[in-house]
Structure 1
Amino acid sequence: MPEKPRFAPTPAAATPPRRVLMLSWEYPPVVVGGLGRHVHALATSLAAAGHEVTVVTRHAPGAPREEYADGVRIVRAPEDPPTFPLVTSGLLSWTMAFNHSLTRAALHAAATGEYDVIHAHDWLVTHTAVTLKEHLGIPLVATIHATEAGRHQGWLPEEMNRTIHSVEVWLAREACRVLVCSEYMRWEVTRLLELPASRVDVVPNGVDSSVWRTTARAVAAARTRFAGEGPLLGFAGRLVYEKGVQHLVSALPELRARHPGMRLVIAGDGPHKAELVDATKQLRLQRAVSFTGFLGADLPAVLAATDAMVVPSIYEPFGMVALEAAAAGAPLAVARTGGLAEIVEPGVTGVTFPASDPFGLAEAVSSLLADQTFAKRVARQAKAMVATRYGWPTIARHVVSAYDAAVAQAPSFVTDALPTPVVVPEGNLLAA
């Protein structure tokens, strides 16, 4: 086992340091989406505040099985010899195989350390989380980053979707505290997962503003690369239906009619890409739209180079990219849905428009492009808002409060009753 590093806890902590066993299916260098970056930032922020954090996650080629990095103990579970491809059609089989390996790695971690709380991130680690809760006799806290029904606008169309939903319900039942990233998500999980609101805590996602700073030279290079003679719009994220990029593309003819020479850069990749590329061809906008794939280290400069960053999501539990774009200094135009509606105050930190409404999108974006003084003002106010409200030290303190509540209520939460089956209702689960 690697030698544990020495670091000084933050003085005058409000609560005694917590010993946290954190479970996640992704953690750097394995980063599939935003969850891996979230867990890494949370774990390292907790460690910097003096808490003891062990993250158990899946192994990546070339990574050590166990190490300390940034004050966090990381235990990685390698795949078992039988092959279970990580593909959509076989996701449930892969998840079950992964949880066998993850459980063994977590039990190894538990054998060489003591913990106050287990923190599980999303449904993919549920079987391991419940096993550890019962084996170690310590409380479970679960973060629900998104729900299966929410991703499908309230529907569970296939057997796999219904099965994932049942696992989410099970995880929520087993957890003393359930963490969500917005008030919208509190409403969604209490409705979908049959939870009392008193067991659900809203803890926003955090942003490290320093990561999104860039230089004037990098911004100028990004504009040279992507902008033409007119304004530059941006989108960043996975190219999936629920991100609503199709509505942004549909709004482009109207926007270009109002703002000649306008161009759009789409940073990201996903299964919806081919359909989006085809849509730009049908609209004869190939030269006006750049599909870059994931930009990595170049993304902050591209965000800062835009005259408006557009977040047209149909479903968005939180809206992390909006905060990242704001931290980079970009004016925001976001769909008035989910957590986005809680981040952006219209006319103060950006502009909003109805989801799935290309004309409304064009109106909102035009209000930024037509008034640069207004756009700069809302961008400046959004950047300040991110720094004060969404810094990771603040978020970590909120999470520790949830840990404290879980530890306090754990004795009254324990039950010897057999688990009850999850009955998956039919129809639209989010319908009134």
Structure 2
Amino acid sequence: MTEGGRIRVAMVHGPGPADRDGVGDYVERLVGALGEAGIEAVRVPVGSPGARSLRHWLPATLDAARRVRRLRPDVVHVQFAPSAYRFSGLPGLLPPLLPSGAPLVTTLHEYGWWAAPGWVPGPVWRPLERARLWDRETGRLVPASALVVVTNASHARQVRSRVGTAPVEVPLAPNVVDHGGGRQARVRVRDTLGMGRDDPLLAFFGFVHPVKGVRQLVEALPALRAARPRLRLLVVGGFTSQALPEAEARAFRAELGALAARHGVADAVTFTGHLPAARVSDLLHAADVGVLPFTAGVTTKSGALLTMLAHGLPTAVTVPDEPDPGLPLAEAVAVIGARRDPAAIADAVGPLLSDPGARRRLGVAARRLAARHSWSRVASAHRALYETLAGPGRPLDRRDA
């Protein structure tokens, strides 16, 4: 432990910066929140952005392990998502390289759909996973962890099914907290956009990627504008990410621009790119309705959704095949009746724009739900985990006596 008895955590994560990687953004916010909760979390990135080759990831993994050992942490906490490590399985080799006296915690941000190598049949993995020898997605990380953390119930079920242990669920928190702009932000943003106070404004927020349904959202605009000619759409977020490298991001941005022009709504769509948090907060305060038409559906493991809810923004979402019990449909969000369907988006959003009372009710319920997903709660949950493993009176403390 550090002087004063503070627990020191080596926070191991992928190389993606916060403005291009959801896990990178999560780590940045978590480390800050832990500091306020009295935990010293030291970031240890593995690798460098854009790296893909075996020749990069092997030395990067070895170097990260060396840096962790030099820190002499009380706990090692690995943040795992395959995309964060450019789908390299090598970070899964970290556990035997880490200091033996520090318990390992692994947080799974993505789970249940990937394997390394992918050509190995599922039945081959199962006995290895049940014996806690190897996990098809994380290598030795999950089997060697003293605690596994997940952010949602779906991942928890996957972990229990594979390795037979119960993970700890710590829900996500908003990507962007409410900066308090309120009505002033609404007026300011609308003046900048050349909009009237009552002109309808939609907002999408998050990394812009083909699976987010932005194509269908743009295609829904002609039907929505037929009754509301002054309607505008803000697409708030960057295109380049760990999941969409720069060249592909440029191509997708151009595709969406051409799509908007083809549908005659180019003047109604504003692509903001990546913005500082305070500016994002202002734009969400200015919007009337949020729209997240993800092609796989939306759950509370979406930081973008939690951000909209934290701003009290009534939001319409698509529903996944396996609905999220933590997201009360039609109470905290409006439901888009079908995925990949522009008409369904228009059918859900149009009535919401026409009903101020419904928007107010959803906004109140949204804030109530978001209050259960604060960063202070996330930090408190992590502190409790760390204290269980390395707090006062635990065997690890004797090395500092």
What TM-score do you get using the length of structure 2 for normalisation? 0.76
Shift of the 54–295 alpha-carbon distance from structure 1 to 2, 3 Å rule, reads: closer
Q: Distance in 2 between matches of 1:359 and 1:346?
A: 20
- Give 1:393-412 correspondences, 5 Å limit: 393-403=376-386
SS at match of 1:355: coil
SS at match of 2:290: strand
CA offset at residue 220 of structure 1? Answer: 1.3
1:214 aligns to 2:181 (yes or no): yes
The answer (yes or no) to whether the contact 1:176–1:199 under 8 Å persists in 2 is no
Which of 130, 138, 141 lines up with 2:102 in the alignment?
138
| Cα 1:346–1:172 shift into 2, 3 Å | same
Query: How far apart, in 2, do the equivalents of 1:141 and 1:338 lie?
Result: 30
Distance in structure 2 (CA, Å) of the matches to 1:278 and 1:105: 47
- Structure 2 distance, partners of 1:321, 1:276, is 20
Asked if 1:293 corresponds to 2:277, the answer is no
Counterpart of 1:50 in 2: which secondary structure?
A: coil
Q: Structure 1 207/238 Cα, relative in aligned 2: closer, same or farther at 3 Å? A: closer
State the partner residue of 1:177.
147
Report the residue type matching 1:243 in the other structure.
K
Q: 1:145-184 alignment to 2 at 5 Å?
A: 145-147=109-111, 149=113, 166-184=136-154
Q: What is the DSSP-based 3-state SS (H/G/I as helix, E as strand, rest coil) of the residue aligned with 1:264?
A: strand
The answer for the alignment partner of 1:74 in structure 2 is none
Retained in 1: the 8 A contact 2:93–2:139?
A: no
Pick one of 283, 288, 291 that aligns with 1:307. Answer: 288
Paired position in structure 1 for 2:77: 119
The letter of the residue matching 2:171 is: P
What amino acid does structure 2 have at the position aligned with 1:174?
Answer: A
2:113 is paired with a residue whose SS is helix
**What secondary structure, in the 3-state scheme, does the structure 1 residue paired with 2:233 have?**
strand
Question: 1:103: how far off?
Answer: 2.2
1:248 to 210, 214, 217: 217
| Correspondence for 2:343 | 359
Q: Distance in 2 between matches of 1:226 and 1:5?
A: 52
In the alignment, the residues of structure 2 paired with residue 141 and residue 180 of structure 1 have an alpha-carbon distance, to the nearest angstrom, of 11
SS at match of 1:199: coil
Q: 1:95 to 1:249 in 2, by over 3 A?
A: farther
Query: 2:351 matched to 1:384?
Result: no
- Choose the corresponding residue for 1:369, options 353, 370, 378: 353
- Mark the CA change 1:5 to 1:289 in structure 2 (over 3 Å): closer, same or farther: farther
Aligned CA distance change for structure 1 residues 385 and 215 (closer, same or farther; 3 Å): same
Equivalent position of 1:22 in the other structure: 11
Distance in 2 of aligned mates of 1:215 and 1:398: 30
Q: How is 1:253-332 mapped onto 2 (pairs within 5 angstroms)?
A: 253-268=222-237, 269-270=239-240, 271=249, 272-296=252-276, 297-315=278-296, 318-332=301-315
Query: Structure 1 residue aligned with 2:30, among 19, 42, 53?
Result: 42
Deviation at 1:202, TM superposition (A): 1.6
Report the 3-state secondary structure (helix = DSSP H, G, I; strand = E; otherwise coil) of the residue aligned with 1:86: coil
SS in 1 for 2:329: coil
C-alpha contact 1:304 1:325 (8 A) present in aligned 2: no
Mapped contact 2:79–2:107 kept (Cα < 8 A) = yes
One-letter identity of the residue aligned with 1:367: P
Post-superposition offset of 1:375: 0.2
User: Hey, what's the Cα distance between the residues in 2 that align with 1:258 and 1:97?
Assistant: 59
Q: Distance in 1 between matches of 2:54 and 2:24?
A: 20
Residue 139 of structure 1 and its aligned partner are, at CA, apart by: 2.4
Question: 1:321 Cα deviation (Å)?
Answer: 1.0
**1:283-331: per-residue Cα shift (whole Å, max 9, x none)?**
1211111111112231111111111111112245611111112222321
1:195 and 2:163 correspond: yes
Q: Distance in 2 between matches of 1:277 and 1:185?
A: 36
Partners of 1:5 and 1:382 lie apart in 2 by 42
> What's the secondary structure of 2:208's corresponding residue?
coil
Letter matched to residue 290 of structure 1: T
**Structure 1 stretches of 5 or more lacking a match?**
10-16, 59-76, 80-84, 412-432
CA 1:19–1:39 in 2, change beyond 3 Å: closer, same or farther?
same
Amino acid at match of 2:356: Q
Which residue is equivalent to 2:244? Answer: none
Is this contact kept in 2: 1:305–1:330, CA < 8 A? no
Q: Taking structure 1 as reference, are residues 253 and 187 closer, same or farther at Cα in structure 2, changes over 3 Å only?
A: farther
Are 1:129 and 1:140, in contact at CA under 8 Å, matched by a contact in 2? no
- The percent identity for this pair of structures is 26
Post-superposition CA distance 1:218-277 (Å, at most 9, x none): 321212334646311111111212222122122222222243321111122232322222
Cα shift at 1:339: 9.2
Is 1:204 aligned to residue 178 of structure 2? no
Residue 265 and residue 208 in structure 1: after superposition, are their counterparts in 2 closer, same or farther (change >3 A)? closer
Q: Cα–Cα, structure 1 residues 208 and 311, in superposed 2: closer, same or farther, change >3 Å?
A: closer
Q: Secondary structure at the match of 1:292?
A: strand
Contact 2:314/2:362, CA 8 A, preserved across alignment: yes
- Tell me which residue corresponds to 1:105: 67
C-alpha distance in structure 2 between counterparts of 1:356 and 1:91, whole Å? 34
Verify the 8 A CA contact 2:62 2:97 in the aligned structure 1: no
Contact between 1:232 and 1:262, CA under 8 Å: does it hold in 2?
Answer: yes
Q: Distance in 1 between matches of 2:147 and 2:321?
A: 21
Indicate the residue corresponding to 1:232 in structure 2.
201
SS at match of 2:95: helix
